[in-house]
Chain A
Amino acid sequence: DQQVKQNSPSLSVQEGRISILNCDYTNSMFDYFLWYKKYPAEGPTFLISISSIKDKNEDGRFTVFLNKSAKHLSLHIVPSQPGDSAVYFCAAKLPGFGNEKLTFGTGTRLTIIP
């Protein structure tokens, strides 16, 4: 039972264009969402997050949108740069203590084409 789904295993985008990575979830109890970025041979690093009380959060070129009614999360990267090529994981957290309450998606491999 995959509660957090990233249905696109891979995505290719031209440099300078917008990259949109999508994430769907099934549990309406999730109250906090995060995106992590992973380069080969490195661990994931935190990118951006959003609370369920918001619908948008921006940090430089990265914007996360949350549509609670659709149970949908998206990450927009604009403009896309070659260094953005990586695997992106979305994650959703239930309220309360413990990292077992954090569920990760399966990841989307983003390739930026120069």
Chain B
Amino acid sequence: KAGVTQTPRYLIKTRGQQVTLSCSPISGHRSVSWYQQTPGQGLQFLFEYFSETQRNKGNFPGRFSGRQFSNSRSEMNVSTLELGDSALYLCASSLWDAATNEKLFFGSGTQLSVL
């Protein structure tokens, strides 16, 4: 069974640009969550999608948005990039959600550098 696939692996952008990251969850998984990882901050929750609906959102500005398609694939968009957006963006999928204590399956992440 293929794991969680994130593309691209690396991305370099300049301030003010926008970026779209893609995530394909494990087949059959309907929940997709996005996390931002920066040194010293751990994994910060961005948002979660379940059956094409955003279930909840973390404490991030509106420049961060996402969507989920009918095949459960998800995209994350960041507009008007800032230097502080440089981070590893991780996508995680699960069958249901954390309420059932399902463990999360993470992709390898997209390393975004904003210059």
Binding site for B on A (CB under 8 A): 4, 6, 9, 32, 34, 36, 41-46, 49, 51, 89, 91, 93, 95-107
In the assembled complex, which residues on chain A have CB atoms less than 8 Å from the CB atom of B45?
Answer: 99-100, 102-103
Q: How far is the CB of B92 from chain A (nearest CB, A)?
A: 7
In the assembled complex, which residues on chain B have CB atoms less than 8 Å from the CB atom of A91?
Answer: 43
The reply to whether A100 and B90 form a contact with Cβ atoms under 8 Å apart is no
**Is B114 positioned at the interface, with any CB of A under 8 Å from its CB?**
no
**Is B61 positioned at the interface, with any CB of A under 8 Å from its CB?**
no
Given A44-B43, A44-B90, A99-B31; A32-B101 close (CB under 8 Å): yes
Binding site for A on B (CB under 8 A): 4, 6, 31, 33, 35, 40-45, 48, 55-58, 90, 92, 94, 97-99, 101, 103-109
The CA-CA distance from A36 to B43 in the complex, in Å, is: 11
The CA-CA distance from A97 to B48 in the complex, in Å, is: 11
Q: How far is the CB of A62 from chain B (nearest CB, A)?
A: 14
User: Which of B40, B56, B92 interacts with A43 by CB under 8 Å?
Assistant: B92
The reply to whether A106 and B99 form a contact with Cβ atoms under 8 Å apart is no
The reply to whether A100 and B106 form a contact with Cβ atoms under 8 Å apart is no
Q: How far is the CB of A105 from chain B (nearest CB, A)?
A: 5
The CA-CA distance from A49 to B100 in the complex, in Å, is: 13
The CA-CA distance from A42 to B56 in the complex, in Å, is: 25
In the assembled complex, which residues on chain A have CB atoms less than 8 Å from the CB atom of B31?
Answer: 99
Q: A99-B45, A99-B48, A100-B55 are in contact. List 12 more A-B contacts (CB 8 A).
A: A4-B42, A32-B101, A44-B43, A46-B103, A91-B43, A98-B48, A99-B31, A99-B33, A99-B92, A102-B45, A103-B45, A105-B42
